Amino acid sequence: MTALSSMYLRGMRQVDMAKELKVSVSTVERDLSKLRAQWEDASVYNFHSAKSEQLAKIDEIERAAWAAYEASRSERRKVTHFDEQVNPRTVTQRDDAGAGDAKWLDKISWCVEQRCKIMGFHAPKEVAMTHSKIERPLKELSKEELMMIAQRRKADAALAVESEVLDDIYGGDETALEVEAPE
């Protein structure tokens, strides 16, 4: 099969493959069909494997970000407060729990976003395309209606190009478009 795949990937015709391998063309066709199926299975496996690996990496980043965020929240700060109203020498100290470092929440949000992208949650939604003059989705239009739209767009595009060319030639000056009479 490796010789066959090499020939196939080099663009060799099936008849020539059969001659070189000393088999029938139908055998080459059958073996190529099996080869393509193997490639497809391998690509599906590899795709799922790569997807799983990336998800695992994102999970690890998210775990580390949560741990760092919790650590930043639990850091205690000593706050010293001098109360001169009660007694100028009275000093109150208390521990304040930190609010947590927002950069870790940003990283967690990034992880969620990446996971959603990989899993396909951001897949495009079907959007009904309509033509400005026709209020039905394009996929519901007849062949004749689609051809009419295509011809109209082609004509509009040709006019736009012609207009741009004339502007480039004459600099937008319509009076410059003079025709010399033959002598």
> For residue 118, is pLDDT > 70?
yes
Confidence band (pLDDT; 50, 70, 90) for 177? very low
User: Is residue 182 included in any domain, yes or no?
Assistant: no
Looking at the fold, whether 72 and 162 belong to one and the same domain comes out as no
Q: How many domains does the chain have?
A: 2
Taking the complete model, does pTM exceed 0.75, yes or no? Answer: no
User: Is residue 42 included in any domain, yes or no?
Assistant: yes
Q: Give the residue carrying structure tokens 């760092």.
A: 68
User: Is residue 181 included in any domain, yes or no?
Assistant: no
Q: Give the residue carrying structure tokens 């029938």.
A: 24
Looking at the fold, whether 39 and 61 belong to one and the same domain comes out as yes
Looking at the fold, whether 21 and 104 belong to one and the same domain comes out as yes
∠ CA 166-169-175, rounded to 5°:
75
Instruction: Please state, as a whole number, how many other Cβ atoms lie within 10 Å of the Cβ of residue 55.
Output: 14
| pLDDT digits 0-9 by tens, 18-56 | 999 999 999 999 999 999 888 888 777 777 888 888 999
Range of the domain at 104: 2-119
User: Is residue 126 included in any domain, yes or no?
Assistant: no
Looking at the fold, whether 78 and 164 belong to one and the same domain comes out as no
Structure tokens at 5: 């795949």
Give the separation between CA 132 and CA 154, rounded to whole angstroms: 15
